[in-house]
Structure 1
Amino acid sequence: MSTGDDIKMTEEEAFSYLQDNLHMASAKQRRQANRESFLNEIVVAIHRHLPWHTVKNLNTPQEKRHLPTLEEIKEDMYDGTGGLCYTLNVFCRMLLQALGFEVVYVPSDVRGYKDVHTLLMVRHLTAEGSSHMVDVGSSSPLFRAISFDFEGETSPVYQDSFLRYRFVRQGDSVVQEHATSSDPHAAAEFDGTTSEWFTYLTIHYKRYVGIEFFNDTTRAFYTVVNPDVPFLTSLRCLAFPDNRFICIKDTTLLKENEDGRVEKSYFRSRDEILSAFQLYFPQFPRSMILIAMNDENVSFDFNKQTGG
């Protein structure tokens, strides 16, 4: 099925990428043994090695900011720098298509913004007509392909890293809900809810679209400074090395402990932020972080108190 973009990776390139960049050994044998398990391993490896971040956005001068091309996306993923949801999921589709999976784009709504989050549906994975959602770009730990063929209105509850989540049918869409107790930072940022579950995404999983569908809805996140979204106003970088959450968010460090709880601490200087990037995200040169920190729309509060 064509979705308006060409596959930009060969099968040979894809297997080399799995081995050299995602550190997956014996990938060909694993694909042959069990395609679903193989897909889940790829999803986990991307979460581990390709961070979600705003660093490159903030490094790009205003007059040169643009929606990344497929070639630029591929280059960033080979550099190990990752990107925003659009770049991560576009590359994931590129990789999975090269490995023989049938993958289509579907749109989803986030925080009242319609059709802005790029998602993937893997078709015919476990049976003819089956549908599995893959999302490696939402900054949430979805360490598996999620079957949308669940019975009834509500899916099983999943637990990955710190996060408990589930999916609920809503007309022709499926709502991704997070347990508020497991994701309080997102709950506060998204809708301030105090209920047990809150809506994270509304997924239009039956609407297969081409990559060009996202040109207008997504371009603004790369080009327009909006105080309501963090992509050009906040220095953020996160990943899941060893399947545990680590996140630099301006002057805040969020780190998942061995018990699966996310602990918060604060940086007290710009040098501490630079040191944290060197420790947790060494793929970013110091010069990139300095430029991002100096962006006129980014500010740092070094007086935050623990527990605040």
Structure 2
Amino acid sequence: MPHLTHSQRYLQRLGYDAPPPPTLQTLQALQLRHVCTFAFESLSTLMHLPVPIDLASVEQKVLFDGRGGYCYELNQMFLALLQALGFEARGITGWVVMGGPPDVRTGRTHRLSLVTLDGVSYITDVGFGGMVPSSPLRLDTEAPQATAHEPYRLTHHEGQYTLWAQVAEEWRGLYVFDLQEQVAIDYEIGNWYVSTHPGSTFVGQLKAALLAPGKRYTLNNTNYAVHSLDQPSEKRTLDSADELLALLGDTFGLRVAQLPALRTALEGLLQA
């Protein structure tokens, strides 16, 4: 299996000593292990830094520099791993509708992946923040699908799919996607908007998320929450840069000491 230097390190972080076979069981395990290992985070856009999305830069940042990333980084890295393992997989994109009407079309600013196994198509996504699905989802059914966390479902209309999650007995629309072929420039354009546009929900904002068995840890600017499947959510607001730095390091597993500009950005966030 050629060119697996970074993939081998990636697999080791996910608990594999050798490349697993390209099966549904492997895909399920890889997705769950990834979302419980690598944090979704927006530290770069908080600090108004560029977010390069060439694979070498992403692998350096996430596998070697102790960082996480967002969809254009994490889902690209995950897709490269799947392809190296022999999965039939490609990238697709969609429109985020979470927090708004599911029939409104925003920009194409979310990247995910399409995987086909034994003629059955699935979506796999490791880069959708606090509501990332923790298991792959079949495209050919609109029935609720169990994941390692909450139930999800997909609906289909005129070539477009909507992903829904069941939260507190309510189905909430997360994003809409289609199966259109995407090339590198499509991701570059979406990433350019997300990382630089004044209207982006990421520019100058702090977002972080990490999953654990039965739990979701989320940070939205200074609002921290632990969502559990079997008990009420715990929420609190952080009011100091020291608290935020400690949380990012201890809970989200990010190597923050090597980011001297981060404290300044966090202090600015607290004063906003």
TM-score normalised by length of structure 2: 0.85
Structure 1 distance, partners of 2:252, 2:167, is 28
Residues 35-114 of structure 1 aligned to structure 2 (within 5 Å): 35-61=23-49, 65-79=50-64, 80-111=66-97, 112-114=105-107
Within-5 A mapping of 1:228-247: 229-242=200-213, 244-247=215-218
Percent identity between matched residues is 19
- The offset of 1:38, in angstroms, is 0.7
- Structure 1 runs, 4 residues or longer, greater than 6 Å off: none
Q: How does 1:19-30 map to 2 (within 5 A)?
A: 19=12, 21-25=13-17, 27-28=18-19, 30=20
- SS of 1:113's equivalent? coil
Structure 1 portions without partners, runs of 5+: 1-8, 183-195, 303-308
**1:164 alignment counterpart:** 151
Q: Does 1:149 align with 2:149?
A: no
CA separation in 1, counterparts of 2:70 and 2:44? 9
Q: Considering only aligned residues, what root-mean-square deviation do their CA atoms show, in Å?
A: 2.6
| Structure 2 residue 190 is the aligned partner of structure 1 residue 217 | yes
Following superposition, the deviation at residue 132 of structure 1 comes to 0.9
Greater Cα radius of gyration, structure 1 or 2: 1
- Report the CA distance shift for 1:232/1:297 in structure 2 as closer, same or farther (over 3 A): farther
TM-score, with length taken from structure 1: 0.76
1:141-198: CA deviation from partner (whole Å, max 9, x where unpaired): 3122211122xxx23243443x33211111111111123526xxxxxxxxxxxxx423
Unaligned stretches of 5+ residues in structure 2: 98-104
In the alignment, the residues of structure 1 paired with residue 156 and residue 29 of structure 2 have an alpha-carbon distance, to the nearest angstrom, of 27
Contact 1:47 1:239 in 2 (8 A): yes
Q: Which amino acid aligns with 1:18?
A: L
Q: Distance in 2 between matches of 1:132 and 1:271?
A: 42
- Quick check: 1:58–1:291 contact (8 Å CA) kept in 2? no
Contact preservation (8 Å) 1:232, 1:297: no
Q: How many residues align?
A: 262
- Aligned residues of 2:241 and 2:266 also touching (Cα < 8 A): no
Supply the distance in 2 between the matched residues of 1:274 and 1:82 (Cα, whole angstroms): 15
